[in-house]
Structure 1
């Protein structure tokens, strides 16, 4: 396990985020996941199955957008972003549990503060939690201090909401707007940037020209070994439908039919 030493290389800033106790809890959970013994149905499923990847440990993910898992095996990772509300979450978690599929949920700090029960429920169901900034701004419009605040404030909000050991050292940029310099800043805070291979675009809704069929098609068109799929929880103001919640079971079943299994991104942190 390399993550504690990596984090120590970026002190004192990283020290404020990953206290010794928090790191120890995370290390213990990641080790349990690797053995397939994590709490919750999702944790016992895909997370425990070994997968051959190029490089393991937090440091191996630094310096990159990480839009694909570096493996030749037929595996995928399922991720969800949440910033608006928790619409569709019940069916998403039910479908993941029914298929024993793990996922990683990237939440904004603002969302976590408004929905602490959601944070606790995702963690209790055995899924990972990632950092999606505090207020979902365009990072290029911020100062370096402002970008650091967005990351650290979101981390504090997730911890305060009860993320516990389900909290990962994973960060996803708002709008997936990355740059080498901004990735370096995030890495210095102790986080690896995890983006995505494809977005279903379900977040656009029917008014944005999306349908469940098109969301499923986009996901399957991008299917390849190590693909990272991005979907969304919630709906923007004035909407109630969540296309990704409707598309998820069809996507998971189609992936399985094509010989793919869903793995937990946290397995990348284990040796």
Structure 2
């Protein structure tokens, strides 16, 4: 998201969060992550940073998707990933998981990782510590209730990519590493916002570098069903591999003897 649009979103997000309903979650409802990942040295190495690029010199990239609106592009996205045998990580809000549990299960069944994107897509820089924890825990519970199972990762992505050191420490304290992105295709803006498939592809490729993390979106806001990122994905993936890059699974960052 560009800075001007980010500022406009931030101006509204406090009101939007107050109007949202975040389920209450007790400490006992928050489970640890599979295979002890939250205690791993590899995970702790990601703490204290917003992780906008993977630390490597190899020609590898990670493909990620956010989902907070609808699931209009999901089937096309999953088909494009499967056709090219490419892994991805999907950062879902808890609200999305509550409304689209079948989508959560579909992503997990396809073998992709699932990350936490808060419950209500709140602006964390305008929340207190207790509310921040509530957002993360509520999303974690919603994903589990929707059937995320072993696809869950100890990865968190801040709504609007609004991070600061304090909020990152709070998320780390809950056992999550913050994984942001090198670039967003901005496909979520749609044709109404001046975006096209060509523009989305260009933005992804302009950011191509060793360890780049690409951000796309599963659906479209305000009830729209046109998903530019779903249309752009095949061209992005083909161009990435055509330039000698390999798409890796973000979960590989958790391996004790990680190599990309």
> 1:215-246: per-residue Cα shift (whole Å, max 9, x none)?
00000000000000000011112422100000
**CA offset at residue 16 of structure 1?**
5.4
Q: Is the 8 A contact 1:14 1:190 kept in 2?
A: no
Task: Identify which of 18, 23, 30 aligns with 2:31.
Answer: 18
Matches within 5 A, 1:149-164: 149-164=134-149
Alignment of 1:64-143 (within 5 A): 64-143=49-128
Partner of 1:255: 240
* Distance in structure 2 (CA, Å) of the matches to 1:56 and 1:76: 22
Instruction: State the 1:57 CA deviation.
Output: 1.0
Q: 1: distance between equivalents of 2:146 and 2:140? A: 10
CA distance in 2, matches of 1:105, 1:94: 15
Q: Name the SS for the 1:129 alignment partner.
A: strand
Report the TM-score when normalising by structure 1: 0.82
The 5 Å alignment of 1:1-271 reads: 17-19=30-32, 22-24=33-35, 57-271=42-256
CA contact (8 A) 1:14 1:189 kept: no
Asked whether the 8 Å contact 2:29–2:141 carries over to 1, the reply is: no
C-alpha distance in 2, partners of 1:15/1:264?
Answer: 30
> Does the aligned pair in 2 maintain the 1:74–1:224 contact within 8 Å?
yes
Q: Is the 8 A contact 2:153 2:251 kept in 1?
A: yes
- Please tell me the root mean square deviation across aligned C-alpha atoms, in Å: 1.6
Paired with 1:68 and 1:104, the residues of 2 have a C-alpha distance of 15
- Runs of 4 or more consecutive aligned structure 1 residues displaced over 4 Å after TM superposition: 13-16
- Please, which runs of 5 or more residues in structure 2 have no aligned partner? 1-25
CA distance in 1, matches of 2:255, 2:156: 18
| 3-state SS in 2 of match to 1:170 | strand
- Partner of 1:155, secondary structure, is helix
Aligned length: 229
